[in-house]
Amino acid sequence: MDRYITTFTLAVLLGSPFAAHSQANKACGLASPAEIEGVLGAKVTGLNPQGPGGASAQFCMGTSPKASVMLRLAKRKNAGPPGEAERKGIEIYRKMGAQVDVQTFGPITCSAVIPPKNLEAHGFNTTCTVSKGDAVAGIEITVKTRADMVPIEKLRPLAEKMSGRF
């Protein structure tokens, strides 16, 4: 469903200045299935760690009938100011012709991405990340239709909860 957006997101993150947070994958502990279901209004299945725990970033992925969910956790290296990798990712989306709404709430940055018509089949995305010290955590929801997009206002409270879990 959203392989293009997920592949793009992974490329942006893995190419950005992050190092491993620890040997164990802790991304799945950022939000519970029930919390995510509360945001989506649907059951989430398969919320499982992806890749090795020692990777440059940790990922946990799941699905619901209308959405895919990705939780991620990474430790930022000392290369570049906080938020720089995220800003570059947003700029890439815009250059592709996407409409991007970015809202910042202290250490939380949320974005809603509406792809150009020719990329709509790859999904519509809402993401919130939270920075804390040298770590950054994020939740990304990708849906098939614009009507199913999760509003930033609905996802942000979950990012606030995540900030106390890493």
The answer to whether 5 and 141 have CB atoms below 8 angstroms apart is no
Tell me: the pLDDT tens digits for 58-84?
A: 999 999 999 999 999 988 765 566 567
Q: Is the dihedral of CA 75, 163, 24, 70 positive or negative?
A: negative
Beta-bridge mates of residue 51 = none
The answer to whether the CB of 86 falls within 8 A of the CB of 57 is no
22-38 pLDDT, tens digit per residue, is 356 899 999 999 999 99
At 78 the pLDDT is: 59
pLDDT value at residue 62: 96
Does the structure show a pLDDT above 70 at 4?
no
pLDDT at residue 112 is higher than 90: yes
Average pLDDT over residues 90-109: 91
Whether residue 51 has pLDDT greater than 80: no
What is the pLDDT at residue 22? 38
Give all domains of the chain, ordered by start, each with its CATH number.
3-162 (3.40.1000)
Location of structure tokens 């997920």:
6
Report how far Cα 7 is from the mean position of its chain's Cα atoms. Answer: 12
> What confidence tier does 53 reach under pLDDT thresholds 50, 70, 90?
low
For residue 44, pLDDT over 70 is answered with: yes
pLDDT of 127-164, one tens digit each? 999 988 888 999 999 999 999 999 999 999 999 999 99
Mean pLDDT of the chain: 83
Other residues' Cβ atoms within 10 Å of the Cβ of residue 164? 8
Q: Sorting pLDDT into bands at 50, 70 and 90, what band is 21?
A: very low
**This prediction's pTM:** 0.79
The more confidently predicted of residues 104 and 81 is: 104
The mean pLDDT value for 45-58 works out to 78
